[in-house]
A and B are shown apart, each in its own frame.
Chain A
Amino acid sequence: GDSVTQMEGPVTLSEEAFLTINCTYTATGYPSLFWYVQYPGEGLQLLLKATKADDKGSNKGFEATYRKETTSFHLEKGSVQVSDSAVYFCALSAGAAGNKLTFGGGTRVLVKP
């Protein structure tokens, strides 16, 4: 079945440091890929997405590129802020739009001033 694997946290960084969170997936066909962010006690917010190979999703300084050859969708940000402290989830949706999302285990990121 479909699965998403992302690096375990917590990841602790200093402000303005570079952030990378690795995400790899297994799926039949060509899934759509997503990064969601969850702040404490809240639901999930879409951070970015890519629906086909080589697409780059970007938002709020975060980027991720859909790499079919390595089945990866790593999240990066060049300079993190304290407000980026949250849990980040990589996810995929296989098949038609509106199919269920399969989530990775989540990566907790803590940015210290």
Chain B
Amino acid sequence: GAVVSQHPSRVICKSGTSVKIECRSLDFQATTMFWYRQFPKQSLMLMATSNEGSKATYEQGVEKDKFLINHASLTLSTLTVTSAHPEDSSFYICSATDRKRNNYGYTFGSGTRLTVV
């Protein structure tokens, strides 16, 4: 079945540094990628939606200059947390779909646990 590989699974970084999270679709074309953030014991909060080759659409309250999303190819999307601060510590999850298949299939990555110290 469809697989999305998300890396790294865990990362610890110092305040002020940037961290890049990658999501790759391994056996399908990810025309659309969704990036979520999940706080402990809470639901997923959609941060942004990106379509291949286009700028990402950010949800209200999400800083686009802080959370940079790139979706330059049909198999790779990246989320870069810039100038990270402790409050950015969270679990980040990507989800990909191929709109051309029109089958309501969403494949999730395994998540990235970010800790900013």
Contact = CB atoms under 8 A, between A and B. Distances in A.
Given A98-B97, A98-B99, A43 B110 contact: yes
Given A43-B108, A100-B49, A89 B34 contact: no
A17 interface: no
A106 B43 contact: yes
A101 interface: yes
B111 A89 contact: no
Closest 7 CB pairs of A and B: A98-B99, A43-B108, A44-B108, A43-B110, A97-B102, A43-B111, A105-B43
A32 interface: yes
B101 A45 contact: no
Contacts, number: 59
B42 A46 contact: no
Given A49-B104, A98-B32, A41 B111 contact: yes
B111 A105 contact: no
Contacts of A51: 104
Interface of A: 32, 34, 36, 41-46, 49, 51, 89, 93, 96-98, 100-101, 103-106, 108
A104 B44 CA distance: 8
A46 B113 contact: no
B54 interface: no
Interface string B43-74: 11010010000000000000000000000000
Contact of A32 (B31, B43, B93, B104): B104
Contact of B44 (A45, A97, A103, A108): A103
Contacts of B49: 100
B95 interface: yes
Contact of B109 (A36, A43, A105): A43
A49 B99 CA distance: 17
